[in-house]
Amino acid sequence: MQAAPGTIIAGQRQVWSLPRLLSCIRFGEVLVLEGSPLLGAVFSMGHLTAEKAVAIVLLAAGNACLVAHVFVLNDWSGMNTDLLDPNRMSGVFTNRGIGRAWIGSLWMTLLALSLLLLSPLGSRTLTIALAIAGLSALYSAPGVHIKGIPIANSALHFAGGLLHFLLGYSVFSAVDGRGLVLGCFFALTFVAGHLTHETRDSEGDLINGIRTNAVTFGKARSFAASVVLFMIADVLLIVLAVSDTAPRPLFLIAAFLPLHLFWSFQAWRAGLTFESVRRLQVRYRAIYAAIGLITALTML
């Protein structure tokens, strides 16, 4: 009798392999979420010095471990539901011969390593990192699982997106009004991006009874809300750039607004399938990455 996908047969020897264990980290997602704190640091640091360059390296490494911890914890908590999701089943760590206990050790190790790397940057930054880890636990951990509570999960993402920007901003400056306003752009895009993500995964979440916004209100409404929030965030950034609260190069985002709307319309016309929404995510992430890189290079 054949074992179900993801099942580790009793008595089967599991071979320790660090590369196999590390392959369970979503490195692509980790890379995407490096932008927000690094831009936060660039916005607050002033002139670049050797000492500040070292601080940015520590921030990048610490944030990478922190974000990897968030995703590994999410995968560890959602193992059983992911095994029932046709779009996620093949990527579940048990299908790579990795036991749940190893993944539990991995997310704890990543959290400890992130705090170790961020601790030289000061208590302010370390406190924000701990707050992000706490929000991650509220979102993913069994028994709490705010992921399955509509609207509350979006509120959690807004707080997380704001803190993620302030993680970098706090390295060189106290958290002030400018930092909070700039952080609101990243918080809004974080919420909008996750509503898009929920739209993409709505079929799998429905199978598993996870009451995300897309499952509760319908994926069309969830997707429409994500587009509206993206537009609000972009308009906010344009206003901040025009008023010199944000760097002027960020005004470039205005040129991409019509393109973002067109790509969103294409996904809508395609029926908001997993593939069409995934394609949209790749496209708008490329836009934000390019604008962020241009801004950082200009300021440096």
pLDDT tens readout for residues 230-273: 999 999 988 988 888 887 777 777 788 899 999 999 999 999 99
Closest CA to 177 of 240, 106, 254: 240
Joined together, the tokens standing for residue 6 give: 């993801």
pLDDT tens readout for residues 101-112: 888 889 899 999
Query: Vertex 66, ends 175 and 170: CA angle to 5°?
Result: 15
Q: In this model, does residue 15 exceed pLDDT 70? A: no
Mean pLDDT, range 194-215, rounded to an integer: 89
Q: Are 97 and 8 contacting, i.e. CB atoms less than 8 angstroms apart?
A: yes
Distance CA 73, CA 66 (A): 11
Q: What is the pTM of this model?
A: 0.87
Residue 300's pLDDT band (boundaries 50, 70, 90)?
Answer: low
